Structure 1
């Protein structure tokens, strides 16, 4: 049975919503404590829990952020079920948000909760308070990193770098109308927050909270994305530290990653939660329970298992044949193609819109020990430290060592090895095999300013890396309520 870390109470539920309005952002109804008078560690923890619950919602990491990262890439497609079809076809604008609804506002709701924790000066400092503020800094950094990834151009593009996102570091104030900060300024804040998380969070072994290790892993990814002078070396240092922590924890799987070959499939698809949740491979996962489910909006109507699982009525996400064919014959990440494999064609439709036929994934079981749609969602894994380190080796001119470690990693999955002729393409290919269905492919393309080139099953098959559609538009309602907020160029 799961051990719940969240303090679920009426007070906590009031802190969290899946969509954000002026009323929601007030956070405290009049009959409860004033924001400036939160005077106990318990209530401060509840504020932090509200941030965790909100980022775990269906509007953010619980569904949408994980879906967008694959849906807008080149390995997956949507079948005849219309869910997220508009996003797959890049059919959105400021007035027609569709699937984007609640994503931008929800991330700022997370930031609002974090700010209340970070800025609180009423509760006396203690190791526990320092830990909470460290976690809040990491969570805020993650929220801003997610906003930049989707609502701004990547630094690698050199495009529209004045169009970052609004930076709000003070407690909620309805009169605030912040303009977009530059991309560089937002990255500076993200890095400062994550450094604080590394300094002040703890590493108590709980995979349900953002630890020092989680902050280090996130910061290595931030440096690989920003790519300023010296960033690659910093990413290498951090990724190496996290990788070494993984080796220390696993003991015997240092040449590949923490999850061993024999349990790789069950790490995702086992019905038993004790086999799949809070495992040594996981750095951070979202805590899904019957209690949190009542708040985060995840269930039969919107959930990762609902879209990915071949046995769910709402199933609609399949991986294309070109991607399946990129795996070696014995690669455990796809399996032999049987019904229990992580990629399977069993029951995949063969319709005019689905030609060639795709593959379901079993990474997201519909039913687990806890119930339907309650498997914790893996967000950060130790395997990414290995691949971030390999990428940083390449960026620091150490291609020979990068190739050695890349092939070691691939062989730990019984995958095909690489020649290194195009080492960056090889690294990104291995990342796509390791993290499919985990929201990373589109962001990998974007941070290297690479175009979209879908091989099949698409209406919009090709997209230049400079296209405005690589950046989400801000909703017209947000523009109407903030006269200083400007739309990303091209959407006006």
Structure 2
């Protein structure tokens, strides 16, 4: 391993974990350690932690990857990121910076996966399995963002570059096909299931359950022959056969109280919101590592979504709030507030408190929930629909809605019902844009918009490669139309 490689990686602010405790992190420059070789389990874990931290960056899943999944949807509006909000972006003018952080994570994962200096052990197998799951997650975000969906049939030769080797400054990887990227994602996830822990002590670590949940999402998106059945298989395994550390937040027989549901997201104590059974994977954020991820009082999910945030500008529409029903009923309504909304908006919007501040974390958002048990439940329902089991799908959809105190559905447009319930459950968690995209549906805004519609399969459902990214790699081609 060349020293120049380690110095280059240091530029990405690698996180070093010296304890199994979720909050005991020691961040230090890599030049303080001898990293000519990655020859111990501790160093392997260090590079895996660095990959996790790359995903956690504020320009990745620390904020922007989730924010844009909402901002590019149909029921949220904003006074910032207007290029994105109005679908007016191109390779020269855009807000998108996630690409480099995903590949930074992939680079670190490759160093872990390809390492042959550390003797095999159960722990090494676990580290490498987590790296494969994380690499798959990064590639899935990239292909979902920078390429057309597989079912669109559009420009399927424009996937993203697959890089599986260790860092080599001389390589200029071209785009792989969409099909090749999906094959790699599935291969990594299936391998990850074999070696990852079934029930990690902390939800900051990827697990077999997380890999199965991601696989169900991947199959629901690709939808090749047999994929719906596989999505149903993996989602059902998560719902019915997960270790006890993973469990739904509520069931139809024991609906959760509004206070408990709201507290899961924004209770004043981290112990009430972090490492909960509903959470399958969350990003570790605390005072020790948030600076390395670029997250602070001015750049965090809470700074944009929370009504007192320093960059507060993201509001949900009155029509979306009305979709939950008129009475108190749906516990998810407790995650909205009209307090202090800008009176100049017509109609006025609502803030969400999903990413609010608290006395322990202050300006820094606490652990960010990325994968939840609720997604496995809703993925199973969607897979039931795709496999023609519409009666069972409707029953389970209404059971899920009832567990939240929500309105039930007739099933007259079952796919729309499923996507509506997904939005109600995952608003402010970055799902909506990708849910609409994978079904090749338009984005239609009825209020609070300048650009009110993005037609189905429009060019702008694919993010442009930034000019800087293209300049660094002469073999990388821009998506057609930009």
TM-score, normalized by length of structure 2? Answer: 0.92
Aligned runs of 1:436-451 on 2, under 5 Å?
436-451=427-442
**C-alpha spacing 1:200/1:258, structure 2 compared with 1 (3 Å):** farther
5+ residue gaps, structure 2, are 1-19
Note the C-alpha offset of 1:91.
2.1
Quote the residue 1:106 is aligned against. 101
**Alpha-carbon separation, structure 2, partners of 1:257 and 1:302:** 40
SS at match of 2:476: coil
| CA contact 2:54–2:101 (8 Å) conserved in 1 | yes
8 Å contact 1:139–1:210 — kept in the other structure?
A: yes
Counterparts of 2:375 and 2:463, CA distance in 1? 26
Q: 1:430 aligns with which of 421, 426, 446?
A: 421
Compare 387-396 and 236-245 and name the one that shifted more. 236-245
Give the aligned partner of residue 332 of structure 1: 330
| Cα distance in 2 between the residues matched to 1:118 and 1:403 | 42
Partner of 1:223: 219
Match of 2:178 in 1: 183
* Cross-structure match for 2:15: none
Which sections of structure 1, spanning at least 5 residues, go unmatched?
15-28, 336-340
CA RMSD of aligned residues (A): 2.0
> Which residue number corresponds to residue 27 of structure 2?
9
1:463 to 454, 461, 466: 454
Alignment of 1:59-458 (within 5 A): 59-79=59-79, 82=80, 84-97=81-94, 99-101=95-97, 103-202=98-197, 203-245=199-241, 248=244, 255-256=251-252, 260-262=256-258, 263-328=260-325, 329-335=327-333, 341-351=334-344, 354-458=345-449
CA contact (8 A) 1:368 1:374 kept: no
Give, in whole Å, the separation in 2 of the partners of 1:30 and 1:300.
Answer: 29
Residue 260 (structure 1) shift: 3.2
Q: Does the 8 Å contact 1:94/1:473 carry over to 2?
A: yes
Taking a change above 3 Å as real, the CA distance of residues 252 and 76 of structure 1, as seen in their structure-2 partners, is closer
Q: Hey, what's the Cα distance between the residues in 2 that align with 1:62 and 1:367? A: 17
Tell me, yes or no, if the aligned pair for 1:264 and 1:332 is still in contact at 8 Å: no
1:253 CA drift (Å) = 6.7
Cα contact 2:324–2:330 (8 A) shared by 1: no
**Does the CA contact (< 8 Å) of 1:257 and 1:409 recur in 2?**
no
Runs of 4+ with deviation above 6 angstroms: 250-254
| Higher deviation after alignment, 385-394 or 458-467 | 458-467
Separation in 2, partners of 1:298, 1:427: 34
Partner of 1:26: none
Whether the 8 Å CA contact 1:258–1:382 is kept in 2: the answer is: no
Residue by residue, what CA displacement relative to the aligned partner does 1:143-185 show, whole Å, maximum 9, x if unpaired?
A: 0000011100001211110000000000010111011000000
Contact 2:255 2:404 in 1 (8 A): no
Shift of residue 213 of structure 1? 0.5
Q: Structure 1 stretch 420-429 or stretch 261-270: which is displaced more?
A: 261-270
Change (3 A) 1:464 1:189: same
Match of 1:33 in 2: 35
Distance 1:205-1:397 versus aligned 2 partners, 3 A rule: farther
Q: What is the CA distance between 1:357 and its match in structure 2?
A: 0.7
Distance of 1:271 and 1:160 partners within structure 2: 47
TM-aligned CA deviation for residue 32 of structure 1: 4.0
**Residue 124 (structure 1) shift:** 0.4
Shift of residue 272, structure 1, vs aligned partner? 1.0
Kindly provide the CA deviation profile for residues 43-76 of structure 1, in whole angstroms up to 9, marking residues without a partner as x. Answer: 0000000000110010100001100111100011
Partner-residue secondary structure (3-state), 1:459: coil
Structure-1 separation of matches of 2:139 and 2:287: 28
Distance 1:314 1:258, change over 3 A: farther
Q: In structure 2, the residue corresponding to 1:427 is in which secondary structure?
A: helix
1:371 Cα deviation after fit:
3.2
Q: Is the contact between residue 233 and residue 392 of structure 1 (CA under 8 Å) also seen in structure 2?
A: yes
Determine if contact 2:266/2:353 at 8 Å carries over to the other structure: yes
Shift of 1:274: 0.8
Match of 2:469 in 1: 478
How far, CA to CA, are the matches of 1:456 and 1:267 in structure 2?
Answer: 30
Give, in angstroms, the shift of residue 382 of structure 1: 0.3
Contact 1:327 1:415 in 2 (8 A): yes
Aligned residues: 460
Relative to structure 1, is the Cα distance of residues 307 and 256 closer, same or farther in structure 2, using a 3 angstrom cutoff? farther
